Amino acid sequence: RGVRRDPIHLASLGPNGHVPEEFLLFGRTEKGQGVQFRTSVWMEEAIAVALALGAPAAKRLWVNGQEIGGAPTGYLWMAPVQLQAGLNVIEFRLVAEQTLNMRCSWALVRNPQRYARPEWMTTPDEPQMHSGITFACDLELPFTPAHATIQVGADAPCRVVVNGVEMGRQGGFDPYYSTARVQPYPISNLTAGKNRIELQIQDMGRRVAVVVDGAATGVDGERFAWFSGPTWQVRRDGGAALPVQLRRRQWVDMQYDFVESALFDMDPSYAHLWRRPHPLPAANWLEDAPADGSVIAATPDAFAGSTRIEWLAWTVPPGAVAMVAPVAGSARLWIDGKEARLDEAGRAQLDGDGGHSRSAVLRVEPERGASGGCLLRGPITYELGVGKMAPGLWGDHGLESYSGGVRYRRQ
């Protein structure tokens, strides 16, 4: 479901039919500060998976009390882990290397190759005004593509060169100095065998960053994908080629940008040419393709299996004669203080005066992992008849989430 009223959504555009990948939001975190996250998951059987942890911070990870080493320098860490049958405790620590708005995502991944994402790349040295920077990668294609596209994000003027031929250029004319631009380009000169991709950047006196995502298809439907990462190299002017440095921060680099941009973020997937498996598999109902099983649909259990009781309270709209509450667990329901019987499907007949709005209270013994908004598997629905309601705010009568019409009639 993601973050409720996620501030990452542009006020003018909204969510654009996509749940942002970073579903944990910790807020402004100063340089050197850290956050610690702990949860648990239940597995039917022991399994070896990759725990994908994406965050613009230094990372440490523990699974069942054992620290998992090998965290990389970039944004995404695909850590191989062994989960046991039953309860597994997952804990990680994120430490900010610059002031930022700390967000992150994590997922249990069966297919790391499908889940892998492009990384933002930068130079290992300091900026040198007006020098030239070239990011390069050699590709070995198993076929000659019929169609190919490369998508480039850069925060400085950039030329896209494939096999020595310029395919496009971007930047250098936008009025927004520090905002990265993402642009796709069709490629017509890739061949079977070795190919070279180069991004030629003009150093504007600030550390440049680029991100690349590409895909090629053959006449028989073959597909080959490539993207930016640690295998790329970079050189300045005529100097020696060096391994790129991966940048943790995805969009705004606080070393060079204005202070207010510490709280400016965009979804990391905004720069992707094609959608990768979402860390929240259930969020794929908004996407073009259903979840493919690459990510395990595990329900985190923040309470590690401990037994507890949770309560929900709301207003039943006027005219309701029956309701269905799809509860994740066992439940008891009271309407205006009188208990109403819930059947196995969560349906209850609402006796008494259904003409006016009434108060409902639900006592829930949750299933594993269910808490808060996850106490319900879906919306509470009603069977409605004729009710009595004064003109005014619908939200005062239990209709705050209703989308439709109401017909008023006065006797």
User: Residue 180: which residues within 8 A CB-CB, separation 6 or more?
Assistant: 153, 154, 155, 209, 251, 271
Residue 200 reports pLDDT greater than 80: yes
Torsion angle of the four alpha carbons 330, 335, 340, 344, in this order, in degrees rounded to the nearest 10: -40
| Three-state DSSP state, 376 | strand
Give the pLDDT mean for 53-70.
96
The residue ranges of every structural domain in the chain are 1-117+253-305, 121-246, 310-397
pLDDT at 256 over 80: no
| Segment 390-407 mean pLDDT | 83
- pLDDT tens by residue, 201-227: 999 888 899 999 999 999 999 999 999
C-alpha to C-alpha distance for 351 and 60, rounded to whole angstroms = 55
- DSSP letter assigned to residue 286: G
Report the number of secondary-structure helices (H) and strands (E) in the chain: 1, 27
Asked if 387 contacts 355 with a C-beta cutoff of 8 angstroms, the reply is yes
pLDDT at 106 over 70: yes
Per-residue pLDDT tens over the stretch 350-389: 876 667 889 999 999 998 878 887 889 888 999 888 888 8
What is the C-alpha separation between 170 and 215, in angstroms, rounded?
20
Q: Which residues contact 145 (CB under 8 A, 6 or more apart)?
A: 187, 190, 216, 217, 218, 224
Backbone phi, then psi, for 133, in 5-degree steps?
-125, 135
Q: Given 1.10.3720.10, 1.25.10.10, 2.60.120.260, 3.30.60.50, which CATH number is that of 121-246? A: 2.60.120.260
d(Cα 81, Cα 49) in Å, to the nearest integer?
6
**Token representation of residue 18:** 């996509």
